[in-house]
Amino acid sequence: MSRKKIFVLDTSVFLTRADCVYGFRNHDIVVPFKVLEEIDKHKGRQDGVGSQARKIIRILDGLRAKGTLFKGIRIRKGSGLLYTWGTEKLGSAGFPKDLDSTIPDHLIVATAMAVQKEHPIRKVIMVSRDINMRVICDSVGLLTEDYIVEQAVENSESIYAGFESHLVDDAVIDRFYAKEEIFLGEEETKKYNSNQYLMLVSNANEKKTALCRFISPTVPLKSIVDYKKGVWGIKPRNKEQSFALDLLMDPQVQLITLLGKAGSGKTLCAIAAGLQQTMEDLASYGEPAYSRLIVSRPVQPLGKDIGFLPGTITEKMSPWLTPIQDNLQFLMGNDKITLEMYMDRGRIEIEALTYIRGRSISNAYIIIDEAQNLTIHELKTIITRVGEGTKIILTGDVEQIDAPYLNETSNGLTHAVEKFKNFDLAGHVTLLKGERSRVATYAAQCL
């Protein structure tokens, strides 16, 4: 029996990763004609799915230049062949009685079954990210599997937290509080990442501790700045919020990722620090560190989409950015006039991510909220817009993903946390405790 397999790819695979055709080694790939029709329906979308749809169309058009997709084209040297399989081939194979020819998914499954009948000695596998599609395939006796996208970590529990306990001699903690320079041993420093927070714990008394930030092996442990008076009126309620404000107010850290459940304060802390560093009336701080505060979030609905919205770009974005405006208004003392004044002056901008490509944003404080709904491709596009003197903060909760084809380990925010954790200009904090209300905290834990 031939070891070469035939993979029939569903629409969801291409919309997840357009260059997936290069990842099946020397095995052959069949693309049902119905999949091409489904891809065409998505090519006009102005989001990550639309981008993937347009990209796979360009890839297939490039392959078409080497031959004909109907007869099969060698993808590249060492790879298998790629075929398109039209509905005319289903006639000879016979359409399965349990499937409905008017349903696109059923047509794709029927195509895979026809391929199986034509190549009985080869293993034919239907690849789909759609769970129900895989259930249907299994129900009709067709081999099926998920398309495993690139994962940053094995599971959500493995995501870098940005904090760890470190056992030290009792005298080290005394020296730290005495403002002496404390360095970790060479072997110890290998365990930690740049801008990682540590709790120094005495080996003689576990209740004797000190919180600090590890910068690098050549820099002494840094004390955490205590914002007792608060940042724009916001005072930290737990150590994780103290860590977050310490990073957010540090001009040396230019990329910050904040993970946390609903109500943990990640967005509020980020906006408060942004206001503190961008407003003009901060005499005690001198000139503002940044010229403007830019806040945005992905246009990703929870539940059924409300469709197209009329009006200007500001009016169109209003439903998506209301949570951000709520936070801004709260921090402004519920003074809507002041908020609108700063927005009119250009000091505060609420932007749509749709049109960020091609921009170069300098001397700004950028917050991207709900970043867990971004793909790696989308997040790369956003971060590469950062110019000189700009700080960018990515916030989100990997347990609340609304985007299709993304999960806790494959979304852009998780990749950013893992890929930037040892970058000296980046820092990360996972906020653990909900502070919005007892009801919100309990709901986040039990639902």
Identify the residue whose tokens are 């169309």.
57
Rounded mean pLDDT, 84-100: 73
Return the minimum-mean-pLDDT range out of 37-46, 239-248, 331-340, 342-351: 331-340
What digits encode the pLDDT tens for the residues 231-284? 888 889 899 999 999 999 999 999 999 999 888 889 899 999 998 998 854 444
CA angle 389, 390, 393 (to 5 degrees): 150
- Cα 241 from Cα 223, distance rounded (Å): 15
What digits encode the pLDDT tens for the residues 360-394? 889 999 999 999 988 888 888 889 989 999 999 99
Angle 336-345/313-331 helices, nearest 10 degrees?
130
pLDDT at residue 305, as a whole number: 47
pLDDT at residue 304, as a whole number: 44
Strand-strand pairing, 292-296 and 255-260: unpaired
What digits encode the pLDDT tens for the residues 289-336? 899 998 888 765 444 444 555 666 556 666 666 667 777 777 777 666
Confirm if 247 and 227 have CB atoms less than 8 A apart. no
The gap between the terminal CA atoms of the chain, to the nearest Å, is 50
Contacts of 64 (CB under 8 A, 6+ apart): 73
Torsion of CA 333, 334, 335, 336, to 10 degrees: 150
Confirm if 391 and 130 have CB atoms less than 8 A apart. no
Token pair, residue 275, equals 């206001």
Computed over every residue of the chain, the mean pLDDT equals 85
DSSP letter at 18 equals G
Confirm if 168 and 201 have CB atoms less than 8 A apart. yes
pLDDT at residue 336, as a whole number: 64
Token pair, residue 347, equals 């000091």
Using CB atoms within 10 A of its CB, is residue 390 exposed (0-12), middle (13-18) or buried (19+)?
Answer: buried
What digits encode the pLDDT tens for the residues 404-431? 778 888 899 999 999 999 999 999 999 9
Amino acid 57 reads I
Tell me the domains of the chain and their CATH numbers.
6-145 (3.40.50.1010), 229-446 (3.40.50.300)
Cβ of 147: how many Cβ atoms within 10 Å?
Answer: 19
What digits encode the pLDDT tens for the residues 182-225? 998 888 888 999 999 999 999 999 899 999 999 999 999 999 99
Q: Please list the helix, strand and coil fractions of the chain in percent, rounded to the nearest 5, in that order.
A: 40, 20, 45
Confirm if 386 and 250 have CB atoms less than 8 A apart. no
- Cα 64 from Cα 79, distance rounded (Å): 16
- Output the pTM of the full model: 0.78
Strand-strand pairing, 143-145 and 124-127: parallel
- Cα 96 from Cα 88, distance rounded (Å): 15
Confirm if 318 and 420 have CB atoms less than 8 A apart. no
Token pair, residue 186, equals 């060479």
